[in-house]
Structure 1
Amino acid sequence: MQDLTQEILELVRRTSTDLPPDVEAKLRASYADEEDGSAAQGALDTILKNVELARKNSTPICQDTGTPLFYVHYPEGNSTRKIKKMIQDAVVEATRLNYLRPNSVNAITGKNTGDNTGDDHYPTIHFEEVDQDQPLTIELMLKGGGCENVGAQYTLPNTEMGAGRDLAGVRKVVLDAVHQAQGRGCAPGILGVAIGGDRSSSYLASKETLLGEIGEENPNPELNAMEKQITEEANQMGVGPMGFGGKTTVLDTKIKGLHRLPASYFVSVSYMCWAYRRRKMTVKGSEVIYD
Structure 2
Amino acid sequence: MPTLFSKYAYYFNQLCEFSPNRLQAQKAKNVAPVRYPTPVQKNMNLMVDFKVENKVIGYSLASKQHAHGNCLVHFQSTINRILKPDSFVVPRETVAISICNSFFTLGSSPTDFVKTKQGGKPLPEDSYFTYKMVTKHVMIVLYNSEGAEEQLAGFVYYPQLLTSRRVCPNIDETAMALARITYSSDNGPEMFARFCKKTQRDVIVKIMNGGMSATHMDYNYILLEQNYGSCSECNAFHQEKMKKEKKEKKKSITEKAASKSKSKSEAATATETANSTVTPPPKTAPPKAVDSDDEYDFGN
The TM-score by the shorter chain falls in which range? under 0.3
Larger Rg: 2
- Which structure exhibits the higher relative contact order, with contacts defined as CA atoms closer than 8 Å and separated by 6 or more residues? 1
